[in-house]
Chains A and B, each alone.
Chain A
Amino acid sequence: MEKVRNPQVLIIGIGNPYRGDDAAGLLAARRLKEMQLDSATIIEHSGEGTSLLETWKGAQAVILIDAVSSRAVPGTIHRLEPISNPLPTEMFHASTHAFSLPDAIELARALNELPPALQVFGIEGRNFQAGSEISREVRDAITEVARMVANEVNARQSAPQ
């Protein structure tokens, strides 16, 4: 089958803006929007798994950004490749969704609906309390992740398709 030539990268920032560091993915997405990348579509998402599946349907390359909780130092950036290694589900328990991001990825795998390229950037959070502010370490990590994702998008754009 001929491969669809699609240089667009779909970037999905996940989180809840009212739960402290849980907003990390959303804020990273907003930072990336400000960068006005030519070949990326950027979406903010609550993280509910089944609708994520729908959101990335048909995309050739997907980058997900979400807050995680794995007892690492807050602000730690986890770069994960879920196509080769399923995500550690405990890391995403900060999500309040019954059907979370790791579930969505595994469901997509079971249904043969994983995008050909998929990366996850996890930002270690400190505080997931409702109404709380973003931690300083997480704020710094958001800037760094936005830079890393922008580099990734630019690298894909310049690479031969």
Chain B
Amino acid sequence: MKSRTIKVDYLARVEGEGSLYVKIQGDKLADVKLKIFEPPRLFEAFLRGRRYNEAPDITARICGICPIAYQMSAVHAMEDAFGVKVEGPLRNLRRLVYCGEWIESHALHVYMLHAPDFLGFPDAIQLAREQPHIVQRGLQLKKAGNEIVSVLGGREIHPINVCVGGFYRVPTRSELAPLAERLKWARDAALETVKWVAQFPFPDFEQDYIFVSLQHPDEYPFNEGRLVSNRGLNISVHDYDDNFVEEHVAHSNALHSVLKSGEPYFLGPMARYNLNFDRLSPVAQEAARAAGLGPQCRNPFKSIIVRSIEILHACDEALRLIERYERPDSPSVPVHPHAARGYACTEAPRGTLYHRYRIDEGGIIRDAKIVPPTSQNQKRIEQDLWQYIPSHLHENHDQLRWQCEQAIRNYDPCISCATHFLKLDIERA
């Protein structure tokens, strides 16, 4: 029987490096392997023996795109361990800085990485040549997010101002005022973004996904809530390890996360949206409806619309938080470390990011576990490829490869989080 293989050694427009291997025998799809080569647990080993308060800054270095997410999961896990509650304006500032990270990460993905797929451009550079005003809008939108992270995080790329118990320094109202001016523009630009991407052509592809995200009683989730799914899961983050399993997979050095039942699940904007639509800001809900999306969306290619709606929500929420802000008397609450275990999930731009730490009586980290969203989505991405590729088998090598890459990009995988150095190979022979 004639067989062909698609091999892609370098995955374009995906954070990190990965390799995808696809084998086709005759007219049948025979194999799909998303490969991750590098051991994912180096940072966990690196954390052992360090002080509890070093975790936010060390883990922030895992990813240049979502350092705030790592800091947030780290500080919440430590605060969980030591019984610390961060509330009021400090809690709001954390939500604000998370808004900044969502805006910058999502704007990067929507404009620079994902949109070219739908517009028939090989990359954002070609898009910039043809439609410079569009790319400029994306860059300015991203900048609005960067500025929030710079002001609150102390630095744009590797923020250093977040600490266990709060912040090292909190801004004055007047320091936040210029952010509000730009955010008003950004909110309008985000609305335009939703309208723009809603017109893209989308393949007819829907799956019966298990979506998992945090859920908060009143808020679209960032830092807190219970872990819920559309299949009845509703647990405290303390029970994460009892409900999710990481499996070693022969073809990948990363671990594949599955539910205890063995089923893959879907994290990120699509999951948050499907599980928390009614908690989006009114302007975001309205934009979603105008874009033709109901409260449920099961087409992963439309994640670009959902991501744009989350940008809009984050701009709106950031403005609301800035308007209400009153500078707290102290930038942090006291923390008294003791021997304990701490758990946290927060919603990174790409989905739920789990941290678990065991601390000794001297405040030293004895054990750390970090499960990034991309490693949890990995098996789900493979499943999508198994379903998506068969209807494209007739296409030539380059087209099929591009289809595969696009299907992977739906998840905005950050492979530099999931491991560090992933090669993606798609083979067709």
Interface residues of A (CB under 8 A from B): 16-19, 44-51, 53-54, 93, 96-99, 103, 106-107, 110-111, 128-131
Contacts and interface: CB of A to CB of B under 8 A. Distances in A.
B384 interface: no
B16 to A, nearest CB: 5
Contacts of B64: 16, 46-48, 96-97
9 contacts: A18-B43, A96-B64, A96-B416, A97-B416, A98-B14, A103-B123, A106-B125, A110-B126, A130-B419
B135 A96 contact: no
Interface in B1-57: 10, 13-17, 38-39, 42-43, 45-46
Given A99-B112, A106-B125, A107-B128, 4 more contacts: A18-B43, A50-B142, A129-B38, A129-B420
B10 A93 contact: yes
A30 to B, nearest CB: 14
Q: For the complex, would chain A's binding face be called helix, strand, loop or mixed by DSSP majority?
A: loop
Contacts of A48: 64-65, 108, 157
A38 B126 CA distance: 39
Contacts of A51: 142, 146, 156-157
A93 B10 CA distance: 8
A158 B60 CA distance: 41
B428 interface: no
Range of interface residues on B (Cβ < 8 Å): 35 or more
Contacts of B416: 96-97
B113 interface: yes
Closest 6 CB pairs of A and B: A46-B64, A96-B416, A110-B128, A130-B420, A130-B42, A131-B42
Contacts of B45: 131
A64 to B, nearest CB: 15
B124 interface: yes
Contact of B421 (A45, A54, A96, A98): A96
A18 B38 CA distance: 14
Given A19-B420, A48-B64, A96 B142 contact: no
A54 B61 CA distance: 21
B129 interface: yes
A17 to B, nearest CB: 7
Contacts of A44: 157
Contacts of B42: 129-131
A53 to B, nearest CB: 7
B55 to A, nearest CB: 14
A98 B420 contact: no
A44 B128 CA distance: 27
A99 B113 contact: yes
B176 interface: no
Contacts of B113: 98-99
Contacts of B128: 107, 110-111
Given A48-B64, A129-B38, A96 B415 contact: yes
A103 B125 contact: yes
A19 B61 CA distance: 10
B132 interface: yes
A97 B125 contact: no
Contacts of B399: none
Contacts of A131: 42-43, 45-46
A47 B158 CA distance: 11
B34 to A, nearest CB: 16
Interface string B404-429: 00000000000110011100000000
A17 B419 CA distance: 16
Which of A16, A45, A47 is the most central at the interface, judged by chain B CB atoms within 10 Å of its CB?
Answer: A16
A98 B13 contact: yes
B143 interface: yes
A110 B17 contact: no
A19 B14 CA distance: 18
B136 interface: yes
A41 to B, nearest CB: 15
B139 interface: yes
Interface in B119-134: 123-126, 128-129, 132
